[in-house]
Amino acid sequence: MRKWWKLLHWFIIINFIVEIVYGFYMVFFVVGGGRYPLMMRAVDTPVEIILKRRLFSIEVWVAIAGLAVYLALTEFLPRKLRDMNIILERKGD
């Protein structure tokens, strides 16, 4: 059963990473037809394109935040709690 949880864990992490890469790709390479940030081209770019890029960038930030929260709860918090438990056990001796 532990193997399935590990596979699910890695599936979730990879899913977040794919979403982040896809969002960056859409913002910088697909929507708007340019390869880099708009900079001065933003003045001539239609509002619809700007809004699409903003929606994709919001999607990327949500994925980044989701990945950070997921890793904090599944990786860093258990390690911190385990380390704190070891420290508390040593103080009790």
Q: What are the tens digits of pLDDT across the range 31-79?
A: 766 666 666 777 787 888 888 888 999 999 999 999 999 999 999 988 8
Number of domains the chain is built from: 1
Does the pTM of the predicted model rise above 0.85?
A: no
Q: 11 is in which domain, residue-wise? A: 2-92
> Could you tell me which residues come within 8 angstroms of residue 70 by beta carbon, excluding any fewer than 6 positions away?
12, 13, 16
pLDDT at 92: 62
CB atoms within 10 A of CB 78: 10
pLDDT at 22: 94
